[in-house]
Amino acid sequence: MRLRTRGTAVAATVLSLSMLAAACGSSGSNGGSTATSKKPTDAVIGADDTKLTPKPGGEIKYGLESDTTGGYCLQEAQLAISGMQVARAVYDTLTMPNLKGKITPYLAESVTPNTDYTEWTIKLRPNVVFSDGSKLDADIVRDNLLAYDGKYAKRSPLLFKFVFGDYTKDVVTVDPLTVKVTTNKPWPTYPWFLWSSSRLGITGRAQLDDASTCNKNVVGTGPFKLTEMIANQRITVVRNPNYWQKDAKGVQLPYLDKITFVPITDEPARLTALEAGDINIMHSSSYNTLAALKKQSTLKYISSNRFGEVSYLLLNGTKAPFDHLSAREAVAYAQNRNLANQRLNQGLGTLAQGPFAPGNIGFLQDSGYPKFDLAKAKAKAAQYKQETGQTLSFTYTFVADSEGKQTAVLLQQMEKEAGITVNLNPIGDQSTLINLAIGRQQQAIGWRNHPGADPDTQWVWWHCSNASGPCDNLVNFGGWNDPQINKLLEEGRAEADPAKHAAIYEELNREFAKKLWDLWSGYTTWTIAFQPKVHGIFGPPLPDGSLPSDGLATGHSVLGLWIEH
């Protein structure tokens, strides 16, 4: 169904792209496995996978945390992590991140800039075909890129037009396998946007130009073909016999014949289904699930917060009380995040220092973010009252599931100790929460966003084009307009030197810790739990020989999954 209003359409897209968490105002994340160690290579390969030879054939059932009812018309799709997981089975992207956090060619054989990074030449791999037998060529890639940018008449993208903005000037074909993209300004990180957290899959002509059934007429170059999609029940994909990749021994990929994705929204029920053998593998961001997995010996799991999201209090910086730095400081100092981690996450979380998770460029072990200090919280609350004549209070809006309620009550109790009143506003669904943020009607909301990639990909959430006043960027939900943050984002986007690029985003991290436009909670952990007979969670090396990323916040490859049978 086409969404009717601009605000609602943007809200629905942001719901998917932010991967909103109902209870993220309190806690962090941690892996507890080798995936978060200094040598994540061990987690990518898997201790047993190196000793076993994959056996082609067989099928698995994959438990997802939700369904993707809007379907898979990628330019217009509403993909949270469950939808991204399915998309990675049926679509390939032009680029892909590796274990070291570098972006590498994937469907593209190479992505090469000119000297000032205003022109990018994308050379495609030969002999790649879509699942319907049509050829991958420069024309279809050009039209896909134009469609994501809002410049292709047959598609109407939602958030991607904010992502690409006015930066893309032109997209043309050079020859049957070469596309040239011209940008209005230097854009050294452009290859990251050809991945866009696995959402920028290349769709075949039959789907791209489909006016009525694009959301279910799935045509990709991925390892599997979609054959069945029944809302809230299952999505079935089968092996693509014409897939373009083989493993190191020359065996045709993928190994599996079939994957059935099963949405199981209730977290304990999903784990129970895995334990009972009703599904073979599942994903989860629940610390209760992670704690349960640590206490048993039957199932295997991999967990990671690398390249992940951050959970935080999203504040409205356009109105009282959070248009005052003193109010933001008071609330930050009053948050005993260590206590919250123990009570809500069984101590498994990692407290966040900023928006960039471990593994990301710009990550800092210590950004200067305020530590719990009740005396300072009371002093800042008193300062706010002196500045405004008002006792500091605010309303916290959250989705009223069990974890959301626990988080809200604990937040209220912690702030009360500093003399700050927190009014609780429970609501029943995420869409309502998003609409509040779109209209900047909230004071504080529990939020989760900013999964791993080059930090330039976060431009869309923070950058403002106007010189003063509330931010003109509709998806800067806090509405704040910070000249120094705008400047750093612009410098970071234009900087090609890796060391200088990283230094800019580290400074941006520190700037967030000073201004406190958002109050960070923790880095979100994602866990993949699976039966011992399932292998190849992260898949084979990438085409350039590097190992695939071990980040889980944007799903994981199913290319190398196999099952003993």
Using alpha carbons, select from 101, 85, 17 the residue that is nearest to residue 357.
101
Are the CB atoms for 339 and 411 separated by under 8 Å?
no
pLDDT of residue 16: 32
Q: Determine how β-strand 119-124 pairs with β-strand 108-113.
A: antiparallel
On whether the pTM is more than 0.75, the answer is: yes
pLDDT of residue 50: 58
Contacts of 521 (CB under 8 A, 6+ apart): 24, 25, 26, 27, 28, 310, 311, 312, 313, 337, 340, 351, 352
pLDDT of residue 403: 79
pLDDT of residue 431: 66
Residue that the structure tokens 């993949």 belong to: 528
C-alpha dist (Å) from residue 5 to 2, 8, 149, 289, 461: 9, 5, 20, 38, 21
Degrees (nearest 5) of the Cα angle 33, 553, 163?
Answer: 155
pLDDT of residue 272: 97
pLDDT of residue 33: 32
Largest separation between any pair of C-alpha atoms in the chain = 73
Residue 491 phi/psi, 5-degree rounding, is -65, -40
Low-confidence ranges of the chain (pLDDT < 70): 1-50, 430-431
